[in-house]
Amino acid sequence: MKYENIIIGNFLDRPNRFIANVEIDGVKEVVHVKNTGRCSRLLNPGVKVSLEKADNPGRKTKYDLIAVEDAKLGWVNIDSQAPNKVVLEWLKTRNYDYVKPEYVYGDSRIDFYMEKDGTRYLMEVKGCTDEVDGIGYFPDAPTVRGVRHLRELIKAVSQGYECFIAFVIPMTGITEVRQNAKIHQEFADVFYEAKEAGVKVLNLSCMVTKDELKIQL
């Protein structure tokens, strides 16, 4: 996926999880952060950030913060809507007979339902923006919703679906995601339960620039 109308700014601070203060050409600007996770390892004062100008001229914030330039990793995409978009692009190249986003299953909306040669598939997508020593970690904040989705996938496997949890890694060069039990022990426990039940795990590495994100396998 490619972003339009990108400018570069310098991150100042983050008053809350929805907004940040960014310096653009010497002027302080309040911008919308497209990720409600902590991103505490990335959003440090002075780092360069990539901003997309909003389409709606009447919006309170003129820009969306979509990526951060890390000294070690290069550009890291933190747009929480991006993982599903790039997975949809990728799925369209995988020769499925049918792909439906936002599929209602049980008490949840699972990110993708697919069909191929009579087999039914469900896929839940998670974006991983936390990294330590070359390894990605998920989640970076507790995710009750994530636990619920894993339990739905466990049930779906028992009903004959082939199920995946896909971790999109929007950081160049990172190929592995581990569970961050220190942040959310229940998610880690249910993740391993899901693997035992037959849910397959995909680690989707990406090519990342200031204005582009693409799955690379």
Looking at the fold, whether 49 and 98 belong to one and the same domain comes out as no
Per-residue pLDDT, 130 = 93
Residue 121 shares a structural domain with residue 66:
no
- 59: CATH: 2.40.50.580
pLDDT at 217 over 90: no
Both 110 and 208 in one domain: the answer is yes
pLDDT at 39 > cutoff 80 = yes
**Is 194 among the domain residues?**
yes
Are residue 132 and residue 207 in the same domain, yes or no?
yes
Same domain for 64 and 168? no
Instruction: Tell me, yes or no, whether 110 and 186 share the same domain.
Output: yes
State the average pLDDT for the chain. Answer: 96
pLDDT digits (tens, 9 = 90+) for 157-170: 999 999 999 999 99
Q: Is the pLDDT of residue 183 over 80?
A: yes
pLDDT surpasses 80 at 139:
yes
Clarify whether residues 24 and 127 are in a common domain. no
DSSP 178-208: EE-TTT-HHHHHHHHHHHHHT-EEEEEEEEE
Residue 37 confidence class, pLDDT cut points 50, 70, 90: confident
Count of the separate structural domains present in the chain: 2
Distance CA 157, CA 198 (A): 7
Residues 55 and 89 in one domain: no
Quote the pLDDT of residue 63: 97
Last residue of a domain, one of 75, 104, 135: 75
Residue 34: per-residue pLDDT: 94
Q: Note the pLDDT of residue 57.
A: 81
Query: Is 68 found in the same domain as 90?
Result: no
User: How many Å apart are CA 88 and CA 101, to the nearest integer?
Assistant: 8
Local confidence band at 38 (pLDDT 50, 70, 90 cut-offs) = confident
What range does the domain containing 179 cover? 82-215
